[in-house]
Structure 1
Amino acid sequence: MATTAVRCVAAGASAQALRQTGGYGGGVGPGRTSKVQMASSVMGTKLEVRGSGSLKSAVSHRHSFLVKASATEAPAAQVELSAEQEELLQRRKAIMEAEQQSSGFVVTEVETTEPQNWYSAKVMGVSDVAAGVRCITLMTEVSRELVPLENAYVKPGNIAQIRLDGKELTAVPSSPPFSMKINMPVLYKLRGDIPAGMIKLPQFSLSVKAPVEIHVEEASNPELYTVSEGQELEVGPYLQTAGLDLRPILTLSRFPTIVFFARGRGLAVARAIVEAIDGDVGSMSLSFREEVRLFCSASKPSELAYQEKFADWESRSVKVRATVDDAAGEEWQGAVGSFRSLWDEDDLEYDPNTTAAIVCVEEESRKELTELLEEAGIPKEQILSWKF
Structure 2
Amino acid sequence: MTLSKLKPLRHLSHHLRLRSSLAVSSVAVPQDTTLWTPSPLINVSPAAESLFHITIDVSESPELAASYTKAGQYLQLRLQDPNTRPSFLAIASPPSVAASKGVFEFLVKSVAGSTAELLCGLQKGDVVELSVVMGKGFDIDQISPPENYQTVLIFATGSGISPIRALIEAGFGADKRSDVRLYYGARNLNRMAYQERFKDWESSGVEIVPVLSQPDYSWTRERGYVQDAFARAKRIFSPQSTGAVLCGRRQMAEDVTSILVSDGVPGKRILKNF
Alignment check: 8 A CA contact 1:326 1:337 kept: yes
Cα drift, residue 131 of structure 1: 0.7
Q: Which residue is 1:4 aligned to?
A: none
Total equivalences in the alignment? 235
Is contact 2:92–2:107 with CA below 8 Å preserved after alignment?
yes
Shift of 1:125: 1.5
Determine the structure 2 residue equivalent to 1:300: 188
> Please, what is the CA RMSD of the aligned residues?
2.5
Which of 119, 127, 148 is residue 37 of structure 2 equivalent to?
119
Q: Residue in 1 aligned with 2:12?
A: none
Cα gap change, 1:180 to 1:224, in 2 (>3 Å): closer
SS in 2 for 1:317: coil
CA contact (8 A) 1:140 1:235 kept: no
> Offset of 1:333 from its aligned partner?
4.1
Partner of 2:23: none
Correspondence 1:165 to 2:80: yes
Q: 1:377 aligns with which of 260, 264, 269?
A: 264
Alpha-carbon distance in 2 for matches of 1:377, 1:211: 40
Provide the residue aligned with 1:261 in structure 2. Answer: 155
* Cα separation, 1, equivalents of 2:98 and 2:89: 23
Mapped to 2, the partners of 1:344 and 1:366 lie a distance apart of 13
Task: Please give the alpha-carbon distance, in whole angstroms, between the structure 2 residues aligned to 1:360 and 1:125.
Answer: 25
Greater mean deviation of Cα atoms: 263-272 or 119-128: 119-128
> Conserved in 1, the CA contact under 8 Å of 2:80 and 2:127?
no
Q: Which has the higher contact order (CA 8 A, sep 6+)?
A: 2
- 2: CA distance between counterparts of 1:382 and 1:125? 36
Taking the aligned partners of 1:126 and 1:375, their CA distance within structure 2 comes to: 43
2:174 equivalent to 1:286: yes
User: Could you tell me which of 94, 101, 104 is aligned with 1:212?
Assistant: 104
Matched-pair contact (CA < 8 Å) for 1:117–1:147 = no
CA shift digits 1:333-370 (9 cap, x unpaired) = 43111224322444846311111111112223222112
Q: How far apart are residue 148 of structure 1 and its match?
A: 9.0
Distance 1:247 1:142 in 2: 32
Q: Deviations over 1:187-235 (max 9, x none)?
A: xxxxxxxxxxxxxxxxxxxxxx612211111115211111212222222
For the Cα contact (< 8 Å) 1:120–1:141, is it kept in 2? no
CA contact (8 A) 1:298 1:325 kept: yes
| AA in 1 matched with 2:130 | V
Q: Greater CA radius of gyration, 1 or 2?
A: 1
Distance 1:311 1:217 in 2: 24
TM-score (norm 2): 0.76
Contact 2:70 2:95 in 1 (8 A): yes
Per the alignment, in what secondary structure is the counterpart of residue 52 of structure 2?
Answer: strand
Query: d(CA) in 2 for partners of 1:172 and 1:181?
Result: 17
Residue 261 (structure 1) shift: 0.7
Q: Aligned with 2:148: secondary structure? A: coil
Match of 1:356 among 243, 251, 254: 243
How much identity, in percent, do the aligned residues show? 26
Residue 22 of structure 2 corresponds to: none
What CA distance in whole angstroms lies between the structure 2 residues aligned with 1:350 and 1:375?
13
The one-letter code matched in structure 2 to 1:369 is: V
Gaps (5+ residues) in structure 1?
A: 1-115, 183-208, 277-282
Moved over 4 A (4+): 179-182
Structure 1: distance between partners of 2:99 and 2:65: 17
Kindly report which structure 2 residues correspond to 1:216-255, keeping only aligned pairs within 5 A, or say none.
Answer: 216-219=108-111, 221-240=116-135, 243-255=137-149
Report the TM-score when normalising by structure 1: 0.55
Question: Counterpart of 1:265 in 2: which secondary structure?
Answer: helix
The correspondence for 2:50, drawn from 129, 132, 140, is 132
Asked whether the equivalents of residues 80 and 129 of structure 2 are also in contact (C-alpha less than 8 Å), the reply is no
Q: Which residue does 1:72 correspond to in 2?
A: none
Secondary structure of the equivalent of 2:229? Answer: helix
